[in-house]
Amino acid sequence: MPRIVHAYALVASLLVPVAAMGDSGSELGARIALQGTSNGVAPCMACHGVDGGGMAAAGYPRIAGLDAGYMVKQLGDFRSGKRNNPTMMPMAKGLTEEEMAAVSAHYAALPVPAAAAEPPVDPAAKIASDLVRWGDWTGRGLPACGQCHAPGGNGVGSSFPGIAGQHASYIKAQLRAWKAGTRANDPLGLMKSVADRLTEAEVDAVAAYYAAQPGAAPAAAGKAPAATEEARASATEVRPGVVPDHGAPPAGRATGPEGYFQPPARDAVPDGVFGDVIREGEAIFADTNAHPVSSEYVGNGQACGNCHLDAGRLAASAPLWAAWVAYPAYRTKNKKVNTYIERVQGCFEYSMNAPASAAGRPPAADSTAMVSLVAYSYWLAKGAPTGDDTMPGRGFPRLPETDQGFDPERGGALYAAKCALCHGEDGAGVALPDGRTLFPPLWGAESFNWGAGMHRIDTAAAFIKHNMPLGLAESLSDQESWDLAAFINSHERPQDPRYQGDLAATTKELHGGKFDYYGRREGPDGALLGERPASK
Amino acid sequence: MPRIVHAYALVASLLVPVAAMGDSGSELGARIALQGTSNGVAPCMACHGVDGGGMAAAGYPRIAGLDAGYMVKQLGDFRSGKRNNPTMMPMAKGLTEEEMAAVSAHYAALPVPAAAAEPPVDPAAKIASDLVRWGDWTGRGLPACGQCHAPGGNGVGSSFPGIAGQHASYIKAQLRAWKAGTRANDPLGLMKSVADRLTEAEVDAVAAYYAAQPGAAPAAAGKAPAATEEARASATEVRPGVVPDHGAPPAGRATGPEGYFQPPARDAVPDGVFGDVIREGEAIFADTNAHPVSSEYVGNGQACGNCHLDAGRLAASAPLWAAWVAYPAYRTKNKKVNTYIERVQGCFEYSMNAPASAAGRPPAADSTAMVSLVAYSYWLAKGAPTGDDTMPGRGFPRLPETDQGFDPERGGALYAAKCALCHGEDGAGVALPDGRTLFPPLWGAESFNWGAGMHRIDTAAAFIKHNMPLGLAESLSDQESWDLAAFINSHERPQDPRYQGDLAATTKELHGGKFDYYGRREGPDGALLGERPASK
């Protein structure tokens, strides 16, 4: 077995730095990986390799560089049978909690081996790159792979493993297992819902794509989710391995192309300067707070695409094509007629906290950022009738009020179960190392301001119902959506840009009504919301 | 004859100021008016009254306060038979040139009697007010009455008589005479072309409308037309009393609603703030250089509506509805993608000489002026497909080049015959006393800049062919249109806003090509065009 010989040859060099690290468990982890345990657990390297690179032909995954927490969770699931694997179950059963942590830490610390696979060629390459980057929201409500596994596919935190550089055989096997229901330990059933919507050709294409991507350690989750075990259980127990039943697409919902305006295909952007500007607008829209052209106008961790899913294309997610044809329009918010540009400036002002940005203001009407966003919006609306402010799927279709009203307490429990996975228990979301936002912050200094549309409980409830959790739209009840919105908006966030130094006066003049907690409810710290606004 | 008695009673009071004026001919004029002449010409007052108020029941027109030049011309036409009137012909034949001038001056100096007629009621009132203010461009290529007779209908200069406070019976009789061909002394056949397009109900409505309007002396024509007699003859000889044959509507031409996008009806503007802003946009568009909201951004005598007829509604006259759906777009002019707002700012910069305005710059994107213009444009495009940059009637449909090319010399002769009537031999057009532009200046300090679209001979030729003379669109041949454009653009005008102090460099960088005389041809003063740009 040349591989084993080769593996042993590596031991000495690996053990030295491991020992030098002095981490508790490091030596233990290496020992388990290389030698197994005294009670019969085989050395991990026997299948996963000394370098953790796995074995493509046999379908053994690469585990080097995976998140340790992710691996601990998988071992626990192997042990309990929640993740059904006859080979791994006895191994996991033979490990103590300490040993699981140690061996997970060991492999997590190993460098990710270079990807050896060749990337797919067209048409698979196109299929894969579209799914990885954009998903298929309009057609199937399908999120992009990169929306959870991070752009590049190296994962984030303990819930979203790196898949770049993973063996195609393993990726394919897992997608098929989720589809078949033979693997069902994914949080919220997210992977089940994704796999169910993929064709076999897409499974092959995506697996081949990621197998050829350069692997790297996952992004630190930073203020990452830390939901309780109870919450995790609650999140998955409702339907382990069961396809979520979204029911018939409700009015205003974009689960399919039927009945909604269809913006032009992404690859229909024209060549030339105008097309370049449209593409730049799309890029700015997706990563507003990190894009070099627009970051100076953003004072928090938000991007346009956080509230307008599928980069502004998705019905019932405030699609740009519906907004474009409805402006200029009179807005009660500022009591004047707003051009489309002024409306977008309002998004920067209120939702992206422009007052706290480097520029201290939204982009000017003739700035590169604004012209690009305008060109992109216009292009998405190609063919839409000018002046039609009733396009199906416009905005966030309002939810009916419920008999129970809405309750932040109820919402809090649900948040831990359904939302903290991505947005974190502290609501801070997840930022990538390059500054891009993977999961947007929902309160706190990096979130949208008081005064943003989303600070209204009715608006947030509508957004949640029709769009959350990502890829599981419409799976929450109206009541759950209302309660979640109330919980999220019962936390502090950046000040209303219109605040003039007097909370009571600002509340009286600009806030009020039953869907607005600003200045009227105490936050978690006991102060009135808006009294101690979040700032960096 | 109580009227006569009454008239005589006025003589003394009238003669005193007349004599006191000391004008040559004033006394002579009064004498003719009140006593007639020794060779048998009856006193004018016998029919027209001592006060010049005419006699409604008999159809005798009010002549008090009419322009003297207009009356001289009419007397000449009565004498020659060009204006066929068995009663007036012998009177006119009995008057010398000096007497005609004197009696015309006499009546011109009399105050216009107060209108005694009751205004029409709906539906006639609505019919009339629409025709008076807007005409019916889209339906029939019909100019508004006020576009030549001035808003208010008190006329301007010697070619466009006051009709406010005129007897309805007289107005009706004249419109019918033009229609029937029994009156045919109108310059360019303009009134014939108008009358032909009016229904009997409209004739009645318009006549009743003007009869009830307060009459006043006509606006001084200022730099008014002074075409030679030859030019006048040339202008009318082509088809006295004959309906101009525009032929079948050429492609891109708005002589009827067929085939062109139809903007919403004017009275479909919604109520409320948004509607108010749209209406203000329409008003600004019509009188940009005089409107209190926009005048500070205009450095010349131009308004948007001068180049975009029917307030931006008319196909083949750069209609706003076609422009709205085609922006943002890349423009070679400034080598970048322009939003609609930037495009409109370009109109201010180049066509309305914003650098020479009070503000010194075009209106900002969020200014009242710009937001109003944007709202108005958007509303006109209601229902038009976003992104369609090929709408029929867009822009000024290009003219094919002709074998003869274009020649300012040929164009000059034609200009005197066809254009000087309104735009003046000096190209300065006519401004109303309140600062509004009646006939836009075509060159000189009050005209559009070098660098404006209209400074291009091909663009101006297309505009002329499809839109000029007002109400006689398509009546000029392609060759005539080219030659007129060349003549107009062979004159000096305000400097190109991009000029950096070096004509040759500016010409090389920004101008050139066979349709652009800037920096490449000598103007009338022998200097290169652009070398001594017109300024106030």
- Whether the upstream peptide bond of residue B469 has omega within 30° of 0, thus cis, is yes
Chain B hits for A274, Cβ within 8 Å: 328-330, 337
CA B264 to chain A, closest CA, distance in angstroms equals 11
Contact A328 B371 (CB under 8 A): yes
Q: Is the pTM of this model over 0.90?
A: no
Chain A hits for B371, Cβ within 8 Å: 328, 336-339, 342
CA B140 to chain A, closest CA, distance in angstroms equals 26
Contact A337 B379 (CB under 8 A): no
Contact A342 B386 (CB under 8 A): no
Report, at the CATH architecture level, how domain B124-219 is classified.
Orthogonal Bundle (1.10)
CA B315 to chain A, closest CA, distance in angstroms equals 18
Dihedral sign for Cα atoms in the order A224, A230, A236, A238: negative
Instruction: Determine what percent of chain B is predicted with pLDDT higher than 90.
Output: 84
CB B459 within 8 A of CB B325: no
Partner-chain residue, chosen from A339, A378, A385, that has the shortest CB–CB distance to B371: A339
DSSP at B182:
S
Q: What is the pLDDT of residue A251?
A: 43
- Which residue bears the tokens 């997840």? A430
Q: Which residues pair with A338 in a beta bridge?
A: A329
Dihedral sign for Cα atoms in the order A304, A306, A312, A316: negative
Contact A386 B384 (CB under 8 A): yes
Look at B231 and B425; give whichever has higher pLDDT.
Answer: B425
CA B399 to chain A, closest CA, distance in angstroms equals 27
> What is the per-residue burial (b if ≥16 Cβ within 10 Å, else e) of A439-468?
bbbbbbbbbbbbbbbbbbbbbbbbbbbbbb
- Could you tell me the two tokens for A197? 């919507």
Dist. CA B479–CA A314, nearest whole Å: 53
Determine the Cα angle at B424 with ends B511 and B131, to 5°.
100
Q: What residues does CATH 1.10.760.10 cover in chain B?
A: 2-108, 124-219, 227-247+398-536, 266-380
Residue A413 has φ and ψ, to the nearest 5°, of -65, -40
Contact B379 A387 (CB under 8 A): yes
Q: What is the pLDDT of residue A25?
A: 57
CB A44 within 8 A of CB A111: no
Contact B330 A273 (CB under 8 A): yes
CB A154 within 8 A of CB A219: yes
CB B375 within 8 A of CB A328: yes
Q: How confident is residue B418, by pLDDT bands cut at 50, 70 and 90?
A: very high
- List, for residues B255-282, the tens digit of each pLDDT value: 444 589 999 999 999 999 999 999 999 9
Q: Is the reported ipTM for this assembly greater than 0.95?
A: no
- Which amino acid type is present at position B396? F
CA A368 to chain B, closest CA, distance in angstroms equals 9
The residue in chain B having the minimum alpha-carbon distance to the alpha carbon of residue A271 is B330
DSSP A17-80: HHHHH--TTHHHHHHHHHH--TTSPPPTHHHH-TTS--BTTTTBPP-TT--HHHHHHHHHHHHH
- List, for residues B435-470, the tens digit of each pLDDT value: 999 999 999 999 999 999 999 999 999 999 999 999
Q: Is the pLDDT of residue B97 over 50?
A: yes
Chain B hits for A366, Cβ within 8 Å: 339, 341-342, 365
Contact B274 A324 (CB under 8 A): no
Contact A339 B366 (CB under 8 A): yes
Q: What is the pLDDT of residue A218?
A: 83
- List, for residues B338-353, the tens digit of each pLDDT value: 999 999 999 999 999 9
CB B207 within 8 A of CB B141: no
Q: Is the pLDDT of residue B22 over 60?
A: no
Q: Is the pLDDT of residue B249 over 80?
A: no
The residue in chain B having the minimum alpha-carbon distance to the alpha carbon of residue A326 is B378
A46: number of CA atoms within 13 Å, CB side?
A: 12
Distances (CA, A) of B58 to A39, B92, B170: 127, 20, 9
Dist. CA B76–CA B233, nearest whole Å: 13
Give the closest residue to A83 by CA, choosing from A72, A93, A75, A71. Answer: A75
Helices (H) and strands (E) in chain B, counts: 24, 4
Distances (CA, A) of A403 to A407, A477, A478, A482: 12, 13, 11, 11
Contact B339 A366 (CB under 8 A): yes
CA B255 to chain A, closest CA, distance in angstroms equals 24
Dist. CA B126–CA B131, nearest whole Å: 9
**pLDDT tens, chain A, 536 aa long:** 233 334 344 444 444 444 444 444 589 999 999 999 998 999 999 999 999 999 999 999 999 999 999 999 999 999 999 999 999 999 999 999 999 999 999 999 999 988 788 999 999 999 999 999 999 998 899 999 999 999 999 999 999 999 999 999 999 999 999 999 999 999 999 999 999 999 999 999 999 999 999 988 887 764 433 333 443 333 333 322 222 333 334 444 444 445 899 999 999 999 999 999 999 999 999 999 999 999 999 999 999 999 999 999 999 999 999 999 999 999 999 999 999 999 999 999 999 999 999 999 999 999 999 999 999 999 999 999 999 999 999 999 999 999 999 999 999 999 999 999 999 999 999 999 899 999 999 999 999 999 999 999 999 999 999 999 999 999 999 999 999 999 999 999 999 999 999 999 999 999 989 999 999 999 999 999 999 999 98
Q: Which residues pair with A136 in a beta bridge?
A: A142
| CA max distance for chain A | 78
Contact A330 B366 (CB under 8 A): no
Give the closest residue to A347 by CA, choosing from A284, A433, A430. Answer: A284
Give the closest residue to B376 by CA, choosing from B308, B338, B324. Answer: B324
Q: How confident is residue B26, by pLDDT bands cut at 50, 70 and 90?
A: confident
CATH superfamily of this structure's domain A227-248+398-536: Cytochrome c-like domain (1.10.760.10)
The residue in chain B having the minimum alpha-carbon distance to the alpha carbon of residue A379 is B387
Give the closest residue to A44 by CA, choosing from A97, A101, A88. Answer: A88
Q: For chain B, what percentages of helix, strand and coil (3-state, to nearest 5) are there?
A: 45, 5, 50
The residue in chain A having the minimum alpha-carbon distance to the alpha carbon of residue B372 is A337
Chain A hits for B387, Cβ within 8 Å: 378-379, 381-383
Distances (CA, A) of B479 to A332, B251, B315, B461, B489: 55, 18, 22, 9, 15
Contact A386 B387 (CB under 8 A): no
Dist. CA B533–CA B350, nearest whole Å: 14
- Of the candidate CATH numbers 2.40.110.10, 3.40.50.150, 1.10.10.10, 1.10.760.10, the domain formed by A2-109 belongs to 1.10.760.10
User: Which of B339, B367, B391 has the highest number of chain A CBs within 10 A, making it the mutation to test binding with A?
Assistant: B339
Q: Is the pLDDT of residue B204 over 60?
A: yes
Q: What residues does CATH 1.10.760.10 cover in chain A?
A: 2-109, 124-219, 227-248+398-536, 266-380
Dist. CA A315–CA A308, nearest whole Å: 9
Distances (CA, A) of B140 to B126, B136, B249: 18, 6, 11
| Domain B2-108 annotated CATH 1.10.3720.10 | no
Q: What is the pLDDT of residue B259?
A: 82
Q: How confident is residue B254, by pLDDT bands cut at 50, 70 and 90?
A: very low
Dist. CA B480–CA B469, nearest whole Å: 12
Where is B47: in which H helix or E strand? helix B45-48
CB B464 within 8 A of CB B485: yes
Residues 6+ apart with CB under 8 A from A281: A372, A373, A374, A375, A376, A377, A379
CA A381 to chain B, closest CA, distance in angstroms equals 6
Phi-psi region of B360 (alpha: psi -120 to 50; beta: other; left: phi over 0): left
The 3-class secondary structure across B322-389, one letter per residue, is HHHCCCCEEECCCCEEECHHHHHHHHHHHHCCHHHCCCCCCCCCCCHHHHHHHHHHHHHCCCCECCCC
Region B183-187: mean pLDDT is: 94
Dist. CA B520–CA A218, nearest whole Å: 66
Dist. CA B440–CA B447, nearest whole Å: 7
Least confident of B149-163, B237-251, B446-460: B237-251
Q: Which residues pair with A142 in a beta bridge?
A: A136
Look at B261 and B242; give whichever has higher pLDDT.
Answer: B261
Q: Counting one residue from A and one from B, how many pairs have CB atoms under 8 Å apart?
A: 106
| Domain B227-247+398-536 annotated CATH 3.40.50.970 | no
Chain A hits for B320, Cβ within 8 Å: none
Q: Chain B interface residues facing chain A, Cβ-Cβ under 8 Å?
A: 272-274, 277, 324-325, 327-330, 336-339, 341-342, 364-366, 370-371, 374-375, 378-379, 381-388
- Could you tell me the two tokens for B112? 């216009």
Q: Is the pLDDT of residue B65 over 60?
A: yes
Mean pLDDT of chain B: 89
Q: What is the pLDDT of residue B72?
A: 97
Cα B40 to the center of its chain, rounded Å: 40
- Which residue bears the tokens 């040993």? A99
Q: Is the pLDDT of residue B20 over 70?
A: no
Chain A hits for B327, Cβ within 8 Å: 378
- Which amino acid type is present at position A521? R
- Which amino acid type is present at position A508? K
- Which residue bears the tokens 């005209």? B447
Q: How confident is residue B486, by pLDDT bands cut at 50, 70 and 90?
A: very high
Dist. CA B100–CA B105, nearest whole Å: 8
CA B349 to chain A, closest CA, distance in angstroms equals 15
Cα A12 to the center of its chain, rounded Å: 40
| Domain A266-380 annotated CATH 1.10.760.10 | yes
CA B369 to chain A, closest CA, distance in angstroms equals 12
Dist. CA A310–CA A291, nearest whole Å: 17
- Which residue bears the tokens 């201290």? A360
Chain A hits for B374, Cβ within 8 Å: 328, 339
